[in-house]
Amino acid sequence: MKKIHTKIKLSFACLALLISVSSCETFELEILDSPNALNPENASADFYSNQIQISLKEFFGGTTNNTSLSEQGMEATRMLHMFGPLYYNAYSPGDQDYPWTTGYAEILADVRSLEPLAISDELYMHLAIAQVAEAYTIATLVDFYGDIPYSESNDGISLNPLADSGLNTYMTAHELLDKAIINFGKEELRKPGTDLFYGGDKTKWIALANTLKLKLYLQTRLVTEAESVLGINAIISSGNYIQSSAGDFKFQYGTTDTNPDSRHPIFSRNFVEGTGVTDYMSNTYMDMLLNQKSVEDPRARYYIYRQRATNAENTVEQSCVGGLPPAHIGFSSIYCNLTNNPGYWGRDHGNDEGIPPDTGARATWGLYPVGGQFDDNSFTAIKDRNIGTKGSGIEPIMMSSFVDFMLAEAALTIGTSGDPASYLEEGIRKSINTVMGFREDLVSESYTPTTAEVDTYILEVMNNFNAANTDQKMNIIAQEYWLALWGNGVEAYNTYRRTGKPDNLQQLIREPSDNFIRSFWYPDVYVNQNSNAKQKPDVFQKVFWDTNPDTGFIY
């Protein structure tokens, strides 16, 4: 390996991590390049492009731990069980280090290194993909943390960058997406050697870029309504956004379990040889799938797998069995388990009690989207990893169904083009079709929902929607979007804070239960190593687009 002088490189690394240490300021060191690290001397544009795409899926979905933004969003919004026990201590600043460093030290750093290579070699598609990834990253960091360093963090000078306002960072994200669309339209010298998402199809990338712009406009509708209406209508008018499953922005995992592990990280964490499952399913989410309508949700058996035909039968298996719900939960809400749905064994929101001997009994992840087992009433405890797709699941980052739900909300709340009822029905149908079409070879025909059953479910939703007032209509849109978002906590977390819906989620088991996480703690790696950074007083600080009431709005 060649030796290089790395005074500038060390400074850039510190910059990417937003730290400031003396060795980065004054010393020029001679070190050996890591054979695994990317830097301008030993990496091509293809290497950077590949790594940016991989880092983007890790930024969204994380690794085998559950500190990814998507999983934290699912837990907070009751899609997945959150241990809690309270919102202020459910997650620590250290839990945020992984997504933060993935965003800054990997995605943004690699984009900066790629830019000059791509421009000089006329590799415009490489650059455009990087700009889409950067826009998604900085907007999502704002959504979860609020004001973040951006302009100074990428200037190559500041080691302790100041935070920009969330609105300014969102404006930059719009600009990056516009630049990406222009670059996708240019004639490049050659395409990237690997396109992990769209296989080199630039038209799909352009549709994604417009869809992300639509998402940003919707996200800011409470503070920039006029601009949001104009922007969303222009995108609708163009027709150039994700409208079918062919354009779904998803990451496809493999089945290799070692060197490297290419499986869905949730699958890897839960289905381990001889140890049983790890995660708990949310009682709230399962109740919505099973009991909130006269018919079962057609996606239920794809989402959730039951390891046992019965619920917990004593306090050894589940300590709350036979107990009374806390007064603030009351008897009108679910508590402890779903008494009418044997086998759907989950946990209440914020239940942080110890783990009983139930790993082979609790309900777990199903076939979609992590690649587990379809529920065919076999009620077999999972003891190894050779199930379902063996981990070949997906990260559903931006699906066509999501777009219809966003358009339904926009049409209902700010009067953008289109009929909210039509968008709602399209969103539900697309979601069900996507789920039911996922690995049909692994689905038991005896338990596959029929066309009539799907139509019955949708008809009930639409009848309820058409009979509802505006507030109830928004609740139905948000609830159906929430049910379609299984596997994507980023959009669930954003939608819940933006709309206050669904409005019938289970409260925390312990009080206080009405002070929801409006933004997450800043990461340790940021506040401890940047002299201009300051930790928030609590997790109840709202991001710039959240103008909803401080209390009594969501819980």
Judge if 49 and 187 occupy the same domain. Answer: yes
Cα distances from 2 to residues 10, 32, 33, 34, 446, in angstroms, run 17, 7, 7, 10, 62
Count Cβ atoms below 10 Å from residue 37 Cβ, excluding itself.
10
Judge if 189 and 274 occupy the same domain. Answer: no
- With 0-12 / 13-18 / 19 or more C-beta atoms within 10 angstroms meaning exposed / middle / buried, residue 352 is middle
On the CB side of 515, CA atoms within 13 Å amount to: 15
Segment holding 304, helix H or strand E: strand 304-305
Residue 252, beta-bridge partner list: 394
Q: Report d(CA 93, CA 100) in Å as an integer.
A: 11
Q: Report d(CA 488, CA 247) in Å as an integer.
A: 17
Q: Report d(CA 493, CA 404) in Å as an integer.
A: 18
- At 264, the amino acid letter reads H
Segment holding 149, helix H or strand E: strand 148-149
| Domain end (from 357, 386, 415) | 386
Q: DSSP letter string over 191-236?
A: --S--TTTTT-HHHHHHHHHHHHHHHHHHTTTT-HHHHHHHHHHHH
To the nearest 5 percent, what fractions of the chain are helix, strand and coil? 45, 5, 50
Query: For residue 449, is pLDDT > 90?
Result: yes
6 lies in some domain: no
- Residue 34 is predicted with a pLDDT of 42
Judge if 192 and 269 occupy the same domain. Answer: no
Query: For residue 1, is pLDDT > 90?
Result: no
Judge if 356 and 494 occupy the same domain. Answer: no
What value does the mean pLDDT take over residues 76-92?
96
Q: Report d(CA 29, CA 18) in Å as an integer.
A: 20
Judge if 165 and 271 occupy the same domain. Answer: no
Question: Any idea what the CATH number is for the domain that residue 118 is in?
Answer: 1.25.40.390
Strand pairing of 3-5 and 30-32? antiparallel
SS3 4: strand
- Residue 2 is predicted with a pLDDT of 30
Lowest model confidence (mean pLDDT) among 4-18, 258-272, 383-397: 4-18
What value does the mean pLDDT take over residues 325-333?
93
Q: Domain range holding 342?
A: 264-386
Query: For residue 175, is pLDDT > 60?
Result: yes
Angle at 260 between CA 255 and CA 265, to 5 degrees: 60
519 lies in some domain: yes
Judge if 48 and 156 occupy the same domain. Answer: yes
Domains of the chain: total: 2
Q: Report d(CA 540, CA 538) in Å as an integer.
A: 5
Residue with tokens 């027709």: 239
Q: Report d(CA 501, CA 503) in Å as an integer.
A: 5
| Domain end (from 386, 420, 450) | 386
Query: For residue 12, is pLDDT > 50?
Result: no
Q: Report d(CA 4, CA 367) in Å as an integer.
A: 49
- Residue 140 is predicted with a pLDDT of 98
What value does the mean pLDDT take over residues 377-394?
95
Judge if 279 and 189 occupy the same domain. Answer: no
More confident residue, 19 or 152: 152
Helices (H), 374-523: 400-414, 420-436, 451-467, 470-484, 489-499
> Which pLDDT band, with edges at 50, 70 and 90, does 62 fall under?
confident
Judge if 58 and 161 occupy the same domain. Answer: yes
288 lies in some domain: yes
Segment holding 173, helix H or strand E: helix 166-184
Residue with tokens 């930059």: 172
Dig out the tokens for 291 from the structure: 């009991």
- With 0-12 / 13-18 / 19 or more C-beta atoms within 10 angstroms meaning exposed / middle / buried, residue 502 is buried
80 lies in some domain: yes
DSSP class of residue 532 equals T
518 lies in some domain: yes
Q: What is the pLDDT of residues 110-144, one digit of tens each?
A: 999 999 999 999 999 999 999 999 999 999 999 99
Judge if 105 and 186 occupy the same domain. Answer: yes
Q: DSSP letter string over 310-354?
A: S---STTT-TTTTPPPPTTT-SSS-BSB-TTSTT---B-TT----
| Domain end (from 325, 359, 386) | 386
- Residue 422 is predicted with a pLDDT of 98
88 lies in some domain: yes
What's the whole-number average pLDDT of the chain? Answer: 91
> Which pLDDT band, with edges at 50, 70 and 90, does 6 fall under?
very low
Judge if 174 and 300 occupy the same domain. Answer: no
The answer to whether residues 91 and 493 touch, using CB atoms and an 8 Å cutoff, is no
Query: In terms of residues, how long is the chain?
Result: 555
Q: What is the pLDDT of residues 340-351, one digit of tens each?
A: 999 999 999 999
- Residue 384 is predicted with a pLDDT of 87
Judge if 42 and 183 occupy the same domain. Answer: yes
229 lies in some domain: no
Judge if 71 and 163 occupy the same domain. Answer: yes
- Residue 157 is predicted with a pLDDT of 72
The answer to whether residues 219 and 248 touch, using CB atoms and an 8 Å cutoff, is no
428 lies in some domain: no
Angle at 79 between CA 478 and CA 51, to 5 degrees: 100
